[in-house]
Amino acid sequence: MNLVKTPLRISYVGGGTDFPSFYSQNEGCGVIAAAINQHVYIYSHQLSPIAAEKIRFTYRETESVSSASDLKHPVMREMLRFTNWERRTNFGTFSDLPSGIGLGGSSSFAVGLANLITHTDSGQVSPEKLAELAVHIERFVLKEAGGVQDQYVAAFGGFRKYNFTSERVEISQHIENSAFLAYLEERQLLIWLDDTRFSDKHAAITEAEIKNSNAYLRETIDLFQDTGKIFSNQYSASQVFEILKVAVRTGWTYKKTFTGELNESAKLVEIALSKFPDIGYKLCGAGGSGFMLVLAEPDVLDNIKKSLGGHSFVNPSISINGSTFQQLT
């Protein structure tokens, strides 16, 4: 049996500038994002020769088909077709968190599947190739609306800066300030907003807004460029955190002009958070629900948890690794 483990992500600064329709026409686009210790898992195992089907895929339902073209799951279908998959295979997937929560789960699945298929067929493939294959299937074959940051973060892992140009994606090294990562992990919190959402629907809305007006995204470019100085390694952990916290707070004021209607839980959480001074927070992903990211001192986070006692929380750590392949015996 083969198993691939692929991280979800938190995007701190720059979201929206990773849409191909925008960065192909504008310079300086990019995001600062990190993979986290919440994962999507995909496994594969050879089907018995007496099995009636050729492909079995278990997710929210189980599909048993004689050809990859007969699959209903779009990414699985097109990934197998694109790679000319011929093996009789039992596939399955599960995850640490549900889908539709604003942490890049659909693209983590696409990257993980690309890793599983290419590694099984031809051995290890570079993170860049995995991200490119996932982007190709999601954005160009299926023509699903959205950006490309999620695929690269899932493939590379770590806390990095990604620059998008019409010719290529430039990926920084994992941030060298290791003290900052421990400092950050003690000061970041994800608040569950009690509802999932369809990211492709909200990405399509964002795509349309980009075509109509991109003033918000131009401000986001400037914010990304200014915040990118944290990768110079000349700041202390506390200084880097303060820069990032301010950037998250500022970016949310920009993003709210594009974000759809918040669900009732999100509205109440934002009202509660507005009462705490000197914190940074933002909604993760597109749409009006999912998770709210908060950056604050540990004692403040404790008080936020107490004030939002009816909610669930995740304390995310940074995942150094991107998508990883393992052969189980």
* Local confidence band at 124 (pLDDT 50, 70, 90 cut-offs): confident
* Local confidence band at 204 (pLDDT 50, 70, 90 cut-offs): low
| Rounded mean pLDDT, 19-34 | 94
Taking the C-alpha atoms of residue 137 and residue 78, their distance in angstroms, rounded to an integer, is 7
* Local confidence band at 94 (pLDDT 50, 70, 90 cut-offs): very high
Mean pLDDT of the chain: 92
**Higher local confidence (pLDDT), 286 or 110:** 110
The strand pair at 313-314 and 188-192 is best described as antiparallel
Delimiting residues of CATH 3.30.230.10 domain(s) in the chain: 2-176+319-327
Pick the CATH number of 2-176+319-327 from 3.30.230.10, 1.20.58.390, 3.40.710.10, 3.40.190.10: 3.30.230.10
* Local confidence band at 162 (pLDDT 50, 70, 90 cut-offs): very high
| Rounded mean pLDDT, 52-79 | 97
In three-state secondary structure terms, 11 is strand
| Domain spanning 178-314: CATH 3.90.1150.10 | no
| Rounded mean pLDDT, 52-80 | 97
Delimiting residues of CATH 3.30.70.890 domain(s) in the chain: 178-314
| Rounded mean pLDDT, 63-90 | 97
pLDDT value of position 262: 84
Tell me which residue has tokens 């049996």: 1
Task: Please enumerate in sequence order all residues whose Cβ is within 8 A of that of 62, keeping only pairs 6 or more positions apart, or say none.
Answer: 56
pLDDT value of position 261: 77
Taking the C-alpha atoms of residue 147 and residue 86, their distance in angstroms, rounded to an integer, is 31
| Max Cα-Cα span within the chain | 64
Angle 170-176-97 (CA atoms, 0-180°, nearest 5)? 75
pLDDT value of position 213: 54
pLDDT tens digit sequence for 284-306: 987 677 999 999 999 999 999 99
Taking the C-alpha atoms of residue 230 and residue 72, their distance in angstroms, rounded to an integer, is 44
pLDDT value of position 215: 77
Taking the C-alpha atoms of residue 192 and residue 195, their distance in angstroms, rounded to an integer, is 8
pLDDT value of position 177: 86
Tell whether the model's pLDDT for residue 192 goes beyond 60.
yes
Task: Please enumerate in sequence order all residues whose Cβ is within 8 A of that of 276, keeping only pairs 6 or more positions apart, or say none.
Answer: 296, 300, 303, 304
| Strands (DSSP E) found in the chain | 2-13, 29-46, 55-58, 62-65, 89-95, 159-164, 169-171, 188-192, 280-283, 291-295, 313-314, 324-327
pLDDT value of position 211: 57
pTM > 0.85: yes or no: yes
pLDDT tens digit sequence for 311-329: 999 999 999 999 999 999 7
